[in-house]
Amino acid sequence: MLVGEAVLGVYRQMFAALARDAGAVVDDPELVDIAETLLSAFAEAGEEGLSREQMRHVCRHHPAEAFENRLRVLRGLGAIREVFPKPNQLRYRASFTSVVGLMFVRRMMLDGGQSEMHRLLALEQLNVADPRMTAEQARAGAEGLGRAFRLWSVELLTLANSTIEELREQAPKLWGTAEIIERAERLHGAILRRWPELDRTCTELRAAIHAYGDASRRAAARLTDSAGTTRNLTLLPPETWRTYARTASREELAGVLDGFVFDAPAPWHDPAAIVTAVQEGPRTTPPRPAPPRPSVPDPGLSDRTPADRSEADRLAGIAEQVLRGRDRVEVHQVLNRDWATARRLLADLSAAHLHPELPYRLVWSDGLRARPGSSPSWLSDGVFERLGEAP
Protein backbone atom coordinates (compact mmCIF):
# COMPACT_ATOMS: atom_id res chain seq x y z
CA MET A 1 0.00 0.00 0.00
CA LEU A 2 2.78 2.45 0.91
CA VAL A 3 4.71 1.64 -2.26
CA GLY A 4 1.64 2.33 -4.38
CA GLU A 5 1.07 5.68 -2.68
CA ALA A 6 4.71 6.64 -3.31
CA VAL A 7 4.34 5.79 -7.00
CA LEU A 8 1.17 7.84 -7.31
CA GLY A 9 2.85 10.74 -5.52
CA VAL A 10 5.60 10.83 -8.15
CA TYR A 11 3.02 10.69 -10.96
CA ARG A 12 1.11 13.64 -9.51
CA GLN A 13 4.26 15.74 -9.09
CA MET A 14 5.46 15.02 -12.66
CA PHE A 15 2.22 15.85 -14.47
CA ALA A 16 0.84 18.53 -12.14
CA ALA A 17 1.66 21.25 -14.71
CA LEU A 18 -0.29 19.40 -17.44
CA ALA A 19 -3.28 18.28 -15.36
CA ARG A 20 -6.64 19.94 -15.88
CA ASP A 21 -7.67 19.39 -12.25
CA ALA A 22 -6.46 17.54 -9.13
CA GLY A 23 -8.20 14.34 -10.22
CA ALA A 24 -6.71 14.19 -13.70
CA VAL A 25 -3.90 11.79 -12.71
CA VAL A 26 -4.52 8.08 -12.16
CA ASP A 27 -5.32 7.05 -8.61
CA ASP A 28 -4.37 3.38 -9.00
CA PRO A 29 -0.89 2.06 -10.00
CA GLU A 30 -2.61 -0.85 -11.77
CA LEU A 31 -3.84 1.55 -14.46
CA VAL A 32 -0.23 2.42 -15.31
CA ASP A 33 0.61 -1.31 -15.45
CA ILE A 34 -2.18 -1.81 -18.03
CA ALA A 35 -0.80 1.00 -20.20
CA GLU A 36 2.72 -0.42 -20.00
CA THR A 37 1.46 -3.92 -20.87
CA LEU A 38 -0.38 -2.58 -23.91
CA LEU A 39 2.59 -0.56 -25.16
CA SER A 40 4.92 -3.56 -24.77
CA ALA A 41 2.50 -5.72 -26.74
CA PHE A 42 2.33 -3.13 -29.54
CA ALA A 43 6.14 -3.09 -29.72
CA GLU A 44 6.20 -6.88 -30.20
CA ALA A 45 3.35 -6.85 -32.74
CA GLY A 46 5.25 -4.69 -35.23
CA GLU A 47 3.63 -2.79 -38.07
CA GLU A 48 0.48 -4.90 -38.11
CA GLY A 49 -0.63 -3.53 -34.77
CA LEU A 50 -3.20 -5.20 -32.49
CA SER A 51 -6.90 -5.73 -32.65
CA ARG A 52 -9.21 -5.01 -29.72
CA GLU A 53 -9.45 -8.73 -28.92
CA GLN A 54 -5.67 -9.08 -28.90
CA MET A 55 -5.31 -6.10 -26.58
CA ARG A 56 -7.83 -7.64 -24.19
CA HIS A 57 -5.95 -10.94 -24.32
CA VAL A 58 -2.61 -9.43 -23.28
CA CYS A 59 -4.42 -7.63 -20.42
CA ARG A 60 -6.48 -10.66 -19.40
CA HIS A 61 -5.02 -10.59 -15.87
CA HIS A 62 -6.55 -7.16 -15.25
CA PRO A 63 -10.24 -6.48 -14.62
CA ALA A 64 -12.32 -5.84 -17.74
CA GLU A 65 -13.65 -2.55 -16.40
CA ALA A 66 -10.14 -1.22 -15.74
CA PHE A 67 -9.01 -2.33 -19.21
CA GLU A 68 -11.91 -0.58 -20.92
CA ASN A 69 -11.24 2.60 -18.96
CA ARG A 70 -7.55 2.59 -19.87
CA LEU A 71 -8.24 1.88 -23.54
CA ARG A 72 -10.74 4.73 -23.72
CA VAL A 73 -8.32 7.21 -22.13
CA LEU A 74 -5.34 6.10 -24.25
CA ARG A 75 -7.37 6.38 -27.45
CA GLY A 76 -8.74 9.79 -26.42
CA LEU A 77 -5.26 11.20 -25.79
CA GLY A 78 -3.73 9.68 -28.91
CA ALA A 79 -1.46 7.11 -27.25
CA ILE A 80 -3.31 4.39 -29.21
CA ARG A 81 -4.58 5.22 -32.71
CA GLU A 82 -6.09 3.42 -35.68
CA VAL A 83 -3.67 2.01 -38.23
CA PHE A 84 -5.68 3.74 -40.97
CA PRO A 85 -8.14 6.55 -40.25
CA LYS A 86 -11.32 5.02 -41.61
CA PRO A 87 -14.64 3.88 -40.16
CA ASN A 88 -14.97 0.45 -38.50
CA GLN A 89 -11.21 0.20 -38.00
CA LEU A 90 -10.24 -3.09 -36.34
CA ARG A 91 -6.51 -2.69 -35.79
CA TYR A 92 -4.58 -0.14 -33.75
CA ARG A 93 -1.01 1.02 -33.24
CA ALA A 94 0.77 2.79 -30.36
CA SER A 95 2.36 6.23 -30.37
CA PHE A 96 6.14 6.43 -30.15
CA THR A 97 5.85 9.51 -27.96
CA SER A 98 3.82 7.61 -25.36
CA VAL A 99 6.42 4.82 -25.21
CA VAL A 100 9.25 7.32 -24.71
CA GLY A 101 7.19 9.18 -22.11
CA LEU A 102 6.61 5.98 -20.14
CA MET A 103 10.35 5.26 -20.25
CA PHE A 104 10.92 8.74 -18.86
CA VAL A 105 8.43 8.05 -16.07
CA ARG A 106 10.20 4.82 -15.14
CA ARG A 107 13.56 6.60 -15.01
CA MET A 108 12.10 9.27 -12.77
CA MET A 109 10.75 6.57 -10.48
CA LEU A 110 14.12 4.82 -10.40
CA ASP A 111 16.47 7.67 -9.44
CA GLY A 112 14.20 10.62 -8.63
CA GLY A 113 15.24 12.65 -11.70
CA GLN A 114 19.02 12.35 -11.33
CA SER A 115 19.55 10.88 -14.80
CA GLU A 116 17.32 13.53 -16.36
CA MET A 117 19.34 16.29 -14.71
CA HIS A 118 22.53 14.75 -16.12
CA ARG A 119 20.98 14.69 -19.58
CA LEU A 120 19.74 18.26 -19.22
CA LEU A 121 23.19 19.54 -18.21
CA ALA A 122 24.85 17.63 -21.05
CA LEU A 123 22.34 19.08 -23.54
CA GLU A 124 22.89 22.63 -22.27
CA GLN A 125 26.65 22.12 -22.55
CA LEU A 126 26.23 21.18 -26.21
CA ASN A 127 23.97 24.16 -26.81
CA VAL A 128 26.51 26.57 -25.28
CA ALA A 129 29.21 25.16 -27.58
CA ASP A 130 26.95 25.67 -30.62
CA PRO A 131 28.01 28.87 -32.44
CA ARG A 132 24.41 29.51 -33.46
CA MET A 133 23.22 29.89 -29.86
CA THR A 134 22.36 33.45 -28.82
CA ALA A 135 22.78 35.21 -25.50
CA GLU A 136 19.02 35.23 -24.89
CA GLN A 137 18.85 31.49 -25.35
CA ALA A 138 21.76 31.07 -22.93
CA ARG A 139 20.01 33.35 -20.43
CA ALA A 140 16.81 31.32 -20.64
CA GLY A 141 18.70 28.06 -20.17
CA ALA A 142 20.66 29.40 -17.16
CA GLU A 143 17.52 30.77 -15.54
CA GLY A 144 15.74 27.43 -16.00
CA LEU A 145 18.63 25.53 -14.45
CA GLY A 146 18.81 27.99 -11.53
CA ARG A 147 15.09 27.58 -10.91
CA ALA A 148 15.45 23.77 -10.95
CA PHE A 149 18.41 23.80 -8.51
CA ARG A 150 16.62 26.15 -6.11
CA LEU A 151 13.51 23.99 -6.02
CA TRP A 152 15.64 20.88 -5.66
CA SER A 153 17.54 22.38 -2.70
CA VAL A 154 14.27 23.31 -0.96
CA GLU A 155 13.00 19.74 -1.36
CA LEU A 156 16.26 18.28 0.00
CA LEU A 157 16.17 20.61 3.02
CA THR A 158 12.63 19.45 3.71
CA LEU A 159 13.76 15.84 3.49
CA ALA A 160 16.69 16.50 5.84
CA ASN A 161 14.20 17.64 8.53
CA SER A 162 11.66 14.87 7.88
CA THR A 163 11.50 11.33 9.27
CA ILE A 164 14.32 8.93 8.46
CA GLU A 165 11.85 6.61 6.69
CA GLU A 166 10.84 9.36 4.23
CA LEU A 167 14.48 10.33 3.74
CA ARG A 168 15.37 6.71 2.98
CA GLU A 169 12.53 6.51 0.46
CA GLN A 170 13.83 9.61 -1.36
CA ALA A 171 17.52 8.56 -1.10
CA PRO A 172 17.95 8.25 -4.91
CA LYS A 173 17.77 12.05 -5.11
CA LEU A 174 21.10 12.16 -3.23
CA TRP A 175 23.03 9.90 -5.59
CA GLY A 176 25.63 11.45 -7.90
CA THR A 177 25.41 14.89 -6.31
CA ALA A 178 29.12 15.68 -6.76
CA GLU A 179 29.02 14.88 -10.48
CA ILE A 180 25.94 17.03 -11.02
CA ILE A 181 27.54 19.97 -9.21
CA GLU A 182 30.74 19.57 -11.24
CA ARG A 183 28.82 19.56 -14.54
CA ALA A 184 26.72 22.54 -13.50
CA GLU A 185 29.81 24.54 -12.52
CA ARG A 186 31.46 23.75 -15.88
CA LEU A 187 28.32 24.91 -17.68
CA HIS A 188 28.25 28.07 -15.56
CA GLY A 189 31.87 28.84 -16.48
CA ALA A 190 31.25 28.21 -20.19
CA ILE A 191 28.27 30.60 -20.26
CA LEU A 192 30.15 33.30 -18.38
CA ARG A 193 33.21 33.08 -20.64
CA ARG A 194 31.19 33.32 -23.85
CA TRP A 195 28.68 35.92 -22.69
CA PRO A 196 30.23 38.10 -19.95
CA GLU A 197 27.15 40.31 -20.00
CA LEU A 198 25.21 37.43 -18.37
CA ASP A 199 27.24 37.78 -15.15
CA ARG A 200 24.14 38.54 -13.04
CA THR A 201 22.29 35.48 -14.37
CA CYS A 202 25.40 33.33 -13.86
CA THR A 203 25.73 34.61 -10.27
CA GLU A 204 22.18 33.51 -9.50
CA LEU A 205 22.87 30.13 -11.15
CA ARG A 206 26.04 29.64 -9.09
CA ALA A 207 24.17 30.54 -5.86
CA ALA A 208 21.48 27.99 -6.71
CA ILE A 209 24.15 25.34 -7.41
CA HIS A 210 25.82 25.99 -4.03
CA ALA A 211 22.45 25.90 -2.25
CA TYR A 212 21.75 22.53 -3.85
CA GLY A 213 25.18 21.24 -2.77
CA ASP A 214 24.69 22.36 0.84
CA ALA A 215 21.20 20.83 1.05
CA SER A 216 22.30 17.52 -0.48
CA ARG A 217 25.28 17.26 1.90
CA ARG A 218 23.07 17.98 4.89
CA ALA A 219 20.52 15.33 3.90
CA ALA A 220 23.25 12.81 3.08
CA ALA A 221 24.96 13.44 6.45
CA ARG A 222 21.73 12.78 8.34
CA LEU A 223 21.10 9.63 6.35
CA THR A 224 24.64 8.38 6.95
CA ASP A 225 24.54 9.17 10.67
CA SER A 226 21.25 7.34 11.06
CA ALA A 227 22.60 4.34 9.17
CA GLY A 228 25.68 4.19 11.41
CA THR A 229 23.66 4.57 14.61
CA THR A 230 21.08 1.91 13.87
CA ARG A 231 23.42 -0.47 11.99
CA ASN A 232 20.62 -0.62 9.41
CA LEU A 233 22.34 -1.30 6.09
CA THR A 234 19.16 -0.58 4.12
CA LEU A 235 19.30 3.16 4.88
CA LEU A 236 21.90 3.61 2.13
CA PRO A 237 21.89 2.16 -1.38
CA PRO A 238 24.07 -0.92 -2.04
CA GLU A 239 26.26 1.12 -4.39
CA THR A 240 27.29 3.38 -1.50
CA TRP A 241 28.35 0.43 0.68
CA ARG A 242 30.29 -1.19 -2.18
CA THR A 243 32.10 2.05 -2.97
CA TYR A 244 32.98 2.54 0.69
CA ALA A 245 34.31 -1.04 1.01
CA ARG A 246 36.50 -0.59 -2.08
CA THR A 247 37.89 2.86 -1.31
CA ALA A 248 38.11 2.98 2.49
CA SER A 249 41.39 2.43 4.32
CA ARG A 250 42.05 -0.46 6.67
CA GLU A 251 41.57 1.80 9.71
CA GLU A 252 38.21 3.08 8.42
CA LEU A 253 36.96 -0.42 7.77
CA ALA A 254 38.07 -1.53 11.25
CA GLY A 255 36.31 1.48 12.79
CA VAL A 256 32.95 0.17 11.54
CA LEU A 257 33.18 -2.68 14.07
CA ASP A 258 34.20 -0.53 17.05
CA GLY A 259 32.14 -1.47 20.08
CA PHE A 260 31.46 -5.02 18.92
CA VAL A 261 32.65 -7.97 21.02
CA PHE A 262 33.10 -11.29 19.25
CA ASP A 263 33.18 -14.64 21.05
CA ALA A 264 36.29 -16.77 20.68
CA PRO A 265 35.90 -19.60 18.15
CA ALA A 266 34.65 -22.81 19.71
CA PRO A 267 37.08 -25.76 19.71
CA TRP A 268 36.58 -28.27 16.92
CA HIS A 269 35.24 -31.68 17.87
CA ASP A 270 34.92 -34.60 15.53
CA PRO A 271 31.20 -35.40 15.05
CA ALA A 272 31.89 -39.14 15.50
CA ALA A 273 33.57 -38.47 18.85
CA ILE A 274 30.57 -36.40 19.99
CA VAL A 275 28.17 -39.20 19.05
CA THR A 276 30.32 -41.77 20.90
CA ALA A 277 30.49 -39.59 24.01
CA VAL A 278 26.73 -39.16 24.05
CA GLN A 279 26.15 -42.91 23.68
CA GLU A 280 28.67 -43.87 26.39
CA GLY A 281 27.68 -41.16 28.84
CA PRO A 282 25.94 -42.07 32.12
CA ARG A 283 22.21 -42.22 31.90
CA THR A 284 20.08 -41.05 34.78
CA THR A 285 17.58 -43.60 36.07
CA PRO A 286 14.16 -42.07 36.39
CA PRO A 287 12.68 -42.29 39.92
CA ARG A 288 10.22 -45.09 40.47
CA PRO A 289 6.71 -43.78 40.91
CA ALA A 290 5.03 -44.35 44.27
CA PRO A 291 2.29 -46.96 44.30
CA PRO A 292 -1.19 -45.49 44.01
CA ARG A 293 -3.08 -44.91 47.22
CA PRO A 294 -6.59 -46.37 47.54
CA SER A 295 -9.41 -43.86 47.30
CA VAL A 296 -11.35 -45.73 50.05
CA PRO A 297 -10.00 -45.09 53.58
CA ASP A 298 -8.44 -48.09 55.39
CA PRO A 299 -10.57 -48.91 58.49
CA GLY A 300 -7.61 -50.68 60.12
CA LEU A 301 -5.72 -47.40 60.54
CA SER A 302 -8.56 -45.60 62.32
CA ASP A 303 -8.19 -47.70 65.50
CA ARG A 304 -4.47 -46.93 65.93
CA THR A 305 -3.27 -44.49 68.55
CA PRO A 306 -1.86 -41.29 67.03
CA ALA A 307 1.92 -41.14 66.95
CA ASP A 308 2.04 -37.97 69.07
CA ARG A 309 -0.13 -39.51 71.77
CA SER A 310 1.92 -42.73 72.03
CA GLU A 311 5.17 -40.71 72.25
CA ALA A 312 3.72 -38.57 75.06
CA ASP A 313 2.66 -41.68 76.96
CA ARG A 314 6.13 -43.22 76.57
CA LEU A 315 7.86 -40.11 77.87
CA ALA A 316 5.39 -39.81 80.78
CA GLY A 317 6.10 -43.41 81.74
CA ILE A 318 9.89 -42.83 81.76
CA ALA A 319 9.45 -39.65 83.83
CA GLU A 320 7.33 -41.41 86.44
CA GLN A 321 9.87 -44.24 86.68
CA VAL A 322 12.59 -41.68 87.38
CA LEU A 323 10.52 -39.79 89.96
CA ARG A 324 9.10 -42.93 91.68
CA GLY A 325 6.26 -41.03 93.28
CA ARG A 326 8.34 -37.99 94.19
CA ASP A 327 7.81 -34.47 92.85
CA ARG A 328 11.49 -33.89 92.06
CA VAL A 329 14.78 -35.72 91.85
CA GLU A 330 18.42 -34.70 91.45
CA VAL A 331 19.80 -35.28 87.97
CA HIS A 332 23.15 -36.67 89.12
CA GLN A 333 21.29 -39.41 91.01
CA VAL A 334 19.43 -40.45 87.88
CA LEU A 335 22.48 -40.47 85.59
CA ASN A 336 24.71 -42.41 87.98
CA ARG A 337 25.11 -45.35 85.54
CA ASP A 338 26.97 -46.25 82.37
CA TRP A 339 27.11 -43.43 79.80
CA ALA A 340 25.26 -45.24 76.99
CA THR A 341 22.23 -45.73 79.23
CA ALA A 342 22.59 -42.31 80.86
CA ARG A 343 22.63 -40.38 77.60
CA ARG A 344 19.47 -42.12 76.33
CA LEU A 345 17.74 -41.35 79.63
CA LEU A 346 18.90 -37.72 79.49
CA ALA A 347 17.51 -37.43 75.96
CA ASP A 348 14.13 -38.75 77.09
CA LEU A 349 14.00 -36.38 80.08
CA SER A 350 14.84 -33.42 77.79
CA ALA A 351 12.07 -34.52 75.38
CA ALA A 352 9.58 -34.73 78.27
CA HIS A 353 10.67 -31.25 79.39
CA LEU A 354 10.07 -29.82 75.88
CA HIS A 355 6.77 -31.65 75.21
CA PRO A 356 3.94 -29.10 75.46
CA GLU A 357 1.41 -31.60 76.86
CA LEU A 358 3.55 -33.07 79.69
CA PRO A 359 3.88 -31.43 83.18
CA TYR A 360 7.62 -32.01 83.61
CA ARG A 361 10.55 -29.61 83.80
CA LEU A 362 14.31 -30.02 83.68
CA VAL A 363 16.13 -27.20 85.53
CA TRP A 364 19.91 -26.77 85.39
CA SER A 365 22.09 -24.82 87.83
CA ASP A 366 25.55 -23.28 87.43
CA GLY A 367 27.35 -25.95 89.43
CA LEU A 368 29.56 -28.66 87.90
CA ARG A 369 30.27 -31.96 89.63
CA ALA A 370 33.62 -33.59 88.70
CA ARG A 371 33.82 -37.38 88.79
CA PRO A 372 37.32 -38.60 87.97
CA GLY A 373 37.41 -42.23 86.89
CA SER A 374 33.62 -42.46 86.53
CA SER A 375 31.35 -42.38 83.48
CA PRO A 376 30.40 -39.72 82.80
CA SER A 377 33.44 -37.92 84.21
CA TRP A 378 31.48 -34.77 85.06
CA LEU A 379 27.86 -33.81 85.74
CA SER A 380 25.98 -30.51 85.91
CA ASP A 381 23.80 -29.86 88.91
CA GLY A 382 20.13 -29.87 88.10
CA VAL A 383 16.73 -31.29 89.05
CA PHE A 384 13.93 -33.02 87.16
CA GLU A 385 10.50 -32.19 88.62
CA ARG A 386 6.80 -32.62 88.10
CA LEU A 387 4.68 -29.48 87.80
CA GLY A 388 1.27 -31.04 87.91
CA GLU A 389 -0.64 -34.27 87.58
CA ALA A 390 0.64 -36.76 84.98
CA PRO A 391 -1.78 -37.42 82.11
- What one-letter code names the amino acid at 197? E
In a domain, 366, yes or no: yes
The DSSP call for residue 326 is -
- The packing angle between helices 114-129 and 135-160, to 10°, is 160
Where a domain ends, among 78, 103, 128? Answer: 103
pLDDT at 281 over 70: yes
Residues 48, 7 share a domain? yes
- Rounded Cα distance between 37 and 123, Å, is 31
Residue 3: its pLDDT value, please?
Answer: 43
In a domain, 34, yes or no: yes
Residues 150, 80 share a domain? no
Q: How many residues does the chain have?
A: 391
In a domain, 247, yes or no: no
- Rounded Cα distance between 367 and 338, Å, is 21
Please report which confidence band the pLDDT of residue 74 belongs to, taking 50, 70 and 90 as the band edges.
confident
Where a domain ends, among 85, 103, 121? Answer: 103
Residues 96, 18 share a domain? yes
- Rounded Cα distance between 136 and 191, Å, is 11
Whole-number CA gyration radius for the chain = 51
**What's the rounded mean pLDDT across residues 187-214?**
88
pLDDT at 354 over 50: yes
Contact 350, 338 (CB under 8 A): no
Where a domain ends, among 103, 126, 145? Answer: 103
Residue 2: its pLDDT value, please?
Answer: 37
Other Cβ atoms within 10 Å of 195 Cβ, number: 19
In a domain, 193, yes or no: yes
- Rounded Cα distance between 314 and 203, Å, is 118
- Helix, strand, coil percent values for the chain (each to nearest 5): 65, 10, 30
- The packing angle between helices 135-160 and 177-194, to 10°, is 150
Angle at 309 between CA 308 and CA 311, to 5 degrees: 65
Contact 8, 29 (CB under 8 A): yes
In a domain, 143, yes or no: yes
Residues 382, 314 share a domain? yes
Q: Note the pLDDT tens digit of each residue in 13-47.
A: 555 555 555 555 666 667 778 888 887 887 777 77
In a domain, 250, yes or no: no
Which range of 194-198, 223-227, 309-313 scores highest in mean pLDDT? It is 194-198
Q: Note the pLDDT tens digit of each residue in 168-181.
A: 766 666 767 788 88
Residue 301: its pLDDT value, please?
Answer: 46
Q: Note the pLDDT tens digit of each residue in 46-55.
A: 777 888 888 8
Contact 319, 360 (CB under 8 A): yes
In a domain, 111, yes or no: no
Residues with Cβ within 8 Å of 219's Cβ and at least 6 positions away in sequence, in order, are: 156, 157, 159, 160, 167, 174
**What's the rounded mean pLDDT across residues 268-281?**
80
Residues 30, 84 share a domain? yes
In a domain, 226, yes or no: yes
Residues 145, 91 share a domain? no
**Lowest mean pLDDT segment, chosen from 1-15, 199-213, 312-326:** 1-15
Residues 10, 99 share a domain? yes
Specify the CATH number for the domain of residue 71: 1.10.10.10
- Rounded Cα distance between 251 and 207, Å, is 37
Number of domains in the chain: 3
- Rounded Cα distance between 256 and 116, Å, is 35
Please report which confidence band the pLDDT of residue 234 belongs to, taking 50, 70 and 90 as the band edges.
low
Residues 140, 99 share a domain? no
Residues 80, 140 share a domain? no
Of 235 and 141, more confident: 141
Contact 241, 233 (CB under 8 A): yes
Residues 97, 9 share a domain? yes
The overall pTM is greater than 0.85: no
Q: Note the pLDDT tens digit of each residue in 77-125.
A: 777 877 776 666 678 887 767 666 666 666 655 555 666 677 778 888 8
Residues 70, 6 share a domain? yes
Contact 318, 384 (CB under 8 A): no
pLDDT at 239 over 80: no
Range of the domain at 205: 136-230
